[in-house]
Amino acid sequence: MTTALASRYAAEYQTLAPALPGQTLSWLTALRGEALEQFSVQGFPSPREEEWRYTNVSAIEKKLFSPATRVTASPVDSDWLKSYQLEDAWSVVLVDGHFSAELSVLNGLPENISVMGMADALAKQPDKLENYINQAVNSSEHGFIAFNTAWFTDGLFVHVAAKQVLAKPIQVLHISTQNDVLTATRTVIVADEMAEANVIETFVGLDNAYLSAAVTEVFVGANAQITLYKMQCESEKAYHFGGIYVKQSRDARFNHHNFAFGGLLARCDIHTDLDQASECELNGLYLGIKRQHIDNHTRINHLKPHGISRELYKGVLDDRARGVFQGRVIVAEDAQKTDSQMNNRNLLLSSDAEADTKPQLEIYADDVKCGHGVTVGQLDEKSVFYLQSRCVDEETARNILTFAFANEMVDKVKIKGLHDRVLEQVLVRFPQEGVEKSWL
Amino acid sequence: MLSIKNLTVNVNDKQILKGINLEIKAGEIHAIMGPNGSGKSTLSHILSGKGGYTVTGGSVIYQGKDLLAMPPEIRAREGVFLAFQYPVEIPGVSNIYLLKAALNSIRKHHGQPEVDAMDFLTLVKGKIRLLEMDEKFLYRAVNEGFSGGEKKRNEILQMAILEPKLCILDETDSGLDIDALKVVAEGVNSLRSPERSFVMVTHYQRLLDYIKPDFVHVLANGQIVKSGGAELALELEEKGYSWLEDTQAAA
């Protein structure tokens, strides 16, 4: 990244800054100032950095994306929106990075639960947010985080008080509607001790080139549980960065389901720190076609004893698509009795498709159970024969098994409204004829 | 129904079947017994069309047609069913999806319209009771996380729904406890009919206590070394396979 470009963004920032939320909060303006400075020096990450070696974001440099001014009228079609927005959920809808009261659904929230747009939260609960913003992640980690910290216009804030178990999921829907628009959003999710919540992040866009740069920080209290779903269905011309940074307290459980379907170039970070006996499960499915580049980068940091982590990422890559999986598991010296298993499986449907996979175990404790497995290849021939022996012709068998490879991850989604929407996206890629959807 | 003549088969240039001759008529049950490595599983794989084998000689005629010339799915649609020794787990595909895809493939092959969803459910639910299985099985992924007994029962369920003409049971009894074996055997017995034939490949005589064969063949070292009635299985149980292997060696 040229510094010239970074300074172009920085110059634009000066005109943008007065409109950003939280301008009266000195702690936030200080964070934004530092982040801007960091970004001006670093720019976006380069493939020279080890954790970005397979993903070159220089294409973003060729464009200058600009933040949208506040959007008032909704420019999106309601039927289109229904294929992403759950009926039975509280939802915060962000259009081009700004909260839309018209599209959001926040009525009937129980007491002790905060669900609101980030700009709104910075106005109403600034002291609370001071404890969380940039506490699960550091702007110096890489350019996108610094960029997001300086630029974020809105986002989602969720706070679930101790022992509260949410009856409905919370959805944040990011919609990009304009060409060349830049959206930077910040989400903070907090579950206090023994609270439980399901949160869904959905990214969609109209058929434009745009840049989404989202950062999510998650704080899972002692013995609390958060299940976070990400459904990334950006337009096929879009650039997407989404980073999820998690702090798990003692006995906390964090489950993540990452569906990466869209974007010309999409990168997702999922980093989590585990305390004593915390558990995390990271599931991912990426489907690449044409010239898509989809990168998932996970880091599981076992800091204390008795932690459990399970990770399964699956990719199906066709045409000239490229999938990247970098999974790091770090077991600190103090994290004895850690039980960790990481798997990445890739299916290549074309000879021009590519999968780069790099699992890394860094173990500093001596009494642990850690494993990893990686496969890059074609369908299992035993399964193909099994279906043929059940009367199914070879081509149909391969179609069914490719669908099934992806569907295994969809099956893990326990929220029906979301399950059906994700399944719909998978069926667009791998249509299954002559079978009832409820049977899939 | 099935006529195997002087069949020889190689795997990686090694001869596994060394001239098999077998005639199976409609309605008959044939048991093929033999020690490990005798070629039992190879025979069932060859009949179902599994890859990795080279037929070097002989013929297999099924209902007047050259079975070996057909791709596996055509054999299946024509009524050949293999119950696998090790049924494959397929995460992401529900049992009911597989069953419907299979049944509709057969119907299409015979120029019949696809089965209606409601009629199909009625059919499947009737069969599932027969095998003492829970309806929930239908919506679970094929064999995923099933116990050994559940997998074998699932094979018989598929067989009951697809109503094949020639059923090949490859070591269906292996790894089953006596209760599971009885359920599986009852399922098989309920499918017996004058139009349907069975080939049961097994290592153990016990299965034949529950499914009575018309003929027993002993396969050793790639050849059928002895054929007889159901009583041959008992004799074999008493004397062990070495009895026949020794006889063969002497000859």
| Token pair of A34 as six digits | 């530092």
Q: Verify whether the Cβ–Cβ distance A435 to B98 is below 8 Å.
A: no
**Is the predicted pLDDT of residue A5 greater than 80, yes or no?**
no
Secondary structure element (H or E) that encloses residue B191, with its range: none
Residue B78 carries which DSSP code? T
Q: Which amino acid is at B194?
A: P
Residue B113 carries which DSSP code? P
| Token pair of A291 as six digits | 């010239």
The per-residue pLDDT for A72 is 58
The per-residue pLDDT for A3 is 65
Q: Write down the residue that tokens 């002692």 correspond to.
A: A222
Secondary structure element (H or E) that encloses residue B242, with its range: helix B242-250
CA atoms within 13 A on the CB side of A425: 26
Residues of chain B contacting A381 with CB distance shorter than 8 Å? 51
Nearest CA in chain B to A395: B73
The per-residue pLDDT for A227 is 98
Report pLDDT digits (tens) over A390-399: 999 999 999 9
Residues of chain B contacting A440 with CB distance shorter than 8 Å? 94, 97
d(CA B199, CA B164): 12
Q: Verify whether the Cβ–Cβ distance B90 to A403 is below 8 Å.
A: no
Q: Verify whether the Cβ–Cβ distance A391 to B82 is below 8 Å.
A: no
Q: Verify whether the Cβ–Cβ distance B96 to A439 is below 8 Å.
A: yes
The per-residue pLDDT for B250 is 61
The per-residue pLDDT for B54 is 94
The per-residue pLDDT for A235 is 97
The per-residue pLDDT for A145 is 96
**Is the predicted pLDDT of residue A344 greater than 70, yes or no?**
yes
Q: Which amino acid is at A425?
A: Q
The per-residue pLDDT for A50 is 87
Residues of chain B contacting A401 with CB distance shorter than 8 Å? 90, 93
Secondary structure element (H or E) that encloses residue B189, with its range: helix B178-190
* Distance from the B215 Cα atom to the nearest Cα atom in chain A, whole angstroms: 26
Q: Verify whether the Cβ–Cβ distance B105 to A382 is below 8 Å.
A: no
Number of compact structural domains in chain B: 1
Of B92, B96, B158, the CB nearest to A390: B158
> Domain limits at A173?
3-275
Of B77, B93, B114, the CB nearest to A404: B93
* Distance from the B208 Cα atom to the nearest Cα atom in chain A, whole angstroms: 25
d(CA B124, CA B128): 6
pLDDT > 70 fraction of chain B, expressed in percent and rounded? 97
**Is the predicted pLDDT of residue A403 greater than 70, yes or no?**
yes
> Considering A275, A302, A322, which residue would you say is the last residue of a domain?
A275
Report pLDDT digits (tens) over A160-194: 999 999 999 999 999 999 999 999 999 999 999 99
Q: Verify whether the Cβ–Cβ distance A434 to B101 is below 8 Å.
A: yes
Of B87, B90, B106, the CB nearest to A404: B90
The per-residue pLDDT for A202 is 98
Which of A287, A345, A390, A430 to mutate against chain B (most B CBs within 10 Å)? Answer: A390
Give A328 or A435, the one with higher predicted confidence: A328
Task: Give a yes or no: residue A308 inside a domain.
Answer: no
Q: Verify whether the Cβ–Cβ distance A439 to B94 is below 8 Å.
A: yes
The per-residue pLDDT for A399 is 94
Three-state DSSP at B174 gives coil
User: Is there a single domain that holds both residue A70 and residue A196?
Assistant: yes
pLDDT > 90 fraction of chain B, expressed in percent and rounded? 73
Average pLDDT over residues A372-382: 93
- A300, A309 in Cβ contact below 8 A? yes
Among residues A261, A252, A241, A269, the alpha carbon closest in space to that of A410 is found at A261
The per-residue pLDDT for A330 is 98
Nearest CA in chain A to B89: A383
d(CA A55, CA A49): 10
Q: Which amino acid is at A430?
A: F
Residue B26 carries which DSSP code? T
The per-residue pLDDT for B125 is 93
Residues of chain B contacting A312 with CB distance shorter than 8 Å? none
Angle between helical axes of A394-410 and A416-429 (0-180°, round to 10): 150
* Distance from the B73 Cα atom to the nearest Cα atom in chain A, whole angstroms: 4
The per-residue pLDDT for A253 is 98
SS3 string of chain A? CCHHHHHHHHHHHHHHHHHCCCCCCHHHHHHHHHHHHHHHHHCCCCCCCHHHCCCCCHHHHCCCCEECCCCCCCCCCHHHHHCCCCCCCEEEEEECCEECCCCCECCCCCCCEEEEEHHHHHHHCHHHHHCCCCCCCCCCCCHHHHHHHHHCCEEEEEEECCCCECCCCEEEEEEECCCCEEEEEEEEEEECCCCEEEEEEEEEECCCCCEEEEEEEEEECCCCEEEEEEEEECCCCCEEEEEEEEEECCCCEEEEEEEECCCCEEEEEEEEEECCCCEEEEEEEEEECCCCEEEEEEEEEECCCCCEEEEEEEEEECCCCEEEEEEEEEECCCCCCCEEEEEEEEEECCCCCEEEEEEEEEECCCCCEEEEEEEEECCCHHHHHHHHCCCCCHHHHHHHHHHHHHHHHHCCCCCHHHHHHHHHHHHHHCCCCCCCHHHC
Q: Verify whether the Cβ–Cβ distance A404 to B104 is below 8 Å.
A: no
Nearest CA in chain B to A394: B73
Average pLDDT over residues A60-83: 80
d(CA B95, CA A190): 40
Give A70 or B139, the one with higher predicted confidence: B139
Task: Give a yes or no: residue A186 inside a domain.
Answer: yes
**Is the predicted pLDDT of residue A369 greater than 60, yes or no?**
yes
Of B76, B93, B141, the CB nearest to A389: B76
Of A387, A393, A403, the CB nearest to B92: A403
Number of compact structural domains in chain A: 2
Task: Give a yes or no: residue A311 inside a domain.
Answer: no
pLDDT-derived band at A74 (thresholds 50, 70, 90) equals low
d(CA A66, CA A96): 11
**Is the predicted pLDDT of residue A200 greater than 60, yes or no?**
yes
| Number of inter-chain CB pairs under 8 A, A vs B | 96
Which is it for strands A322-331 and A354-363: parallel, antiparallel or unpaired? parallel
The per-residue pLDDT for A284 is 98
Nearest CA in chain A to B101: A392
Average pLDDT over residues A289-318: 98
The per-residue pLDDT for A14 is 85
Report pLDDT digits (tens) over A406-419: 999 999 999 999 99
Predicted ipTM? 0.95
Beta carbons within 10 angstroms of residue B4's beta carbon: 21
The per-residue pLDDT for B247 is 67
**Is the predicted pLDDT of residue B31 greater than 80, yes or no?**
yes
- Average per-residue pLDDT for chain B: 92
Kindly list the residues of chain A whose beta carbon comes within 8 Å of any beta carbon in chain B. 380-383, 385-394, 396-397, 400-401, 403-408, 410-411, 432, 434-436, 439-440
**Is the predicted pLDDT of residue B246 greater than 90, yes or no?**
no
Least confident of A248-252, A374-378, B120-124, B236-240: B236-240
Of B71, B94, B103, the CB nearest to A440: B94
The per-residue pLDDT for A396 is 93
Of B50, B96, B114, the CB nearest to A385: B50
Average pLDDT over residues B75-84: 97
Average pLDDT over residues A315-334: 97
Residue A246 falls in which region: left (phi positive, over 0), alpha (psi -120 to 50) or beta: beta
Among residues A160, A174, A157, the alpha carbon closest in space to that of A119 is found at A157
Average pLDDT over residues B213-227: 92
Average pLDDT over residues B47-62: 95
**Is the predicted pLDDT of residue B108 greater than 80, yes or no?**
yes
> Domain limits at B25?
2-250
Report pLDDT digits (tens) over A230-248: 999 999 999 999 999 999 9
* Distance from the A406 Cα atom to the nearest Cα atom in chain B, whole angstroms: 7
Residues of chain A contacting B104 with CB distance shorter than 8 Å? 434
d(CA A312, CA A329): 13
* Distance from the B159 Cα atom to the nearest Cα atom in chain A, whole angstroms: 9
pLDDT-derived band at A59 (thresholds 50, 70, 90) equals confident
The per-residue pLDDT for A364 is 98
| CA torsion angle A144 A149 A151 A156 (round to 10) | 110
Residues of chain B contacting A393 with CB distance shorter than 8 Å? 71, 73, 105
Q: Write down the residue that tokens 């326990």 correspond to.
A: A414
Q: Write down the residue that tokens 């696809």 correspond to.
A: B114
Secondary-structure breakdown of chain B: helix, strand, coil percentages, each rounded to the nearest 5: 40, 30, 30
Strand partners, A241: A213, A267
Q: Verify whether the Cβ–Cβ distance B73 to A389 is below 8 Å.
A: yes
Average pLDDT over residues A343-368: 97
**Is the predicted pLDDT of residue B249 greater than 70, yes or no?**
no
- B247, B233 in Cβ contact below 8 A? no
| Token pair of B18 as six digits | 């060394």
pLDDT-derived band at A58 (thresholds 50, 70, 90) equals confident
d(CA A148, CA A211): 12
* Distance from the A15 Cα atom to the nearest Cα atom in chain B, whole angstroms: 51
Which is it for strands A154-160 and A98-99: parallel, antiparallel or unpaired? unpaired
d(CA A132, CA A190): 8
**Is the predicted pLDDT of residue A6 greater than 90, yes or no?**
no
By the 10 Å C-beta count (0-12 exposed, 13-18 middle, 19+ buried), B129 is classed as exposed
**Is the predicted pLDDT of residue B205 greater than 90, yes or no?**
no
Among residues A410, A409, A399, A406, the alpha carbon closest in space to that of A432 is found at A399
Q: How distant, in Å, are the alpha carbons of A308, B173, B192, B232, B244 from that of B235?
A: 56, 20, 25, 5, 11
> Considering A221, A252, A275, which residue would you say is the last residue of a domain?
A275
Residue B37 carries which DSSP code? T
**Is the predicted pLDDT of residue B47 greater than 80, yes or no?**
yes
User: Is there a single domain that holds both residue A269 and residue A403?
Assistant: no
Report pLDDT digits (tens) over A20-52: 999 999 999 999 999 999 998 888 998 888 899
Residues of chain A contacting B88 with CB distance shorter than 8 Å? 380, 382-383, 386
List the CATH number of the domain containing B143: 3.40.50.300
By the 10 Å C-beta count (0-12 exposed, 13-18 middle, 19+ buried), A213 is classed as buried
> Considering A250, A275, A300, which residue would you say is the last residue of a domain?
A275
Residues of chain A contacting B139 with CB distance shorter than 8 Å? 439
The per-residue pLDDT for A73 is 61
- A96, A181 in Cβ contact below 8 A? yes
The per-residue pLDDT for B251 is 57
Dihedrals phi, psi of A321, to nearest 5 degrees:
-70, 155
- Average per-residue pLDDT for chain A: 94
d(CA A276, CA A308): 10
User: Is there a single domain that holds both residue A59 and residue A204?
Assistant: yes
Question: N- to C-terminal Cα distance for chain B?
Answer: 32
Nearest CA in chain B to A435: B97
Among residues A300, A348, A355, A357, the alpha carbon closest in space to that of A326 is found at A357
Nearest CA in chain A to B87: A386
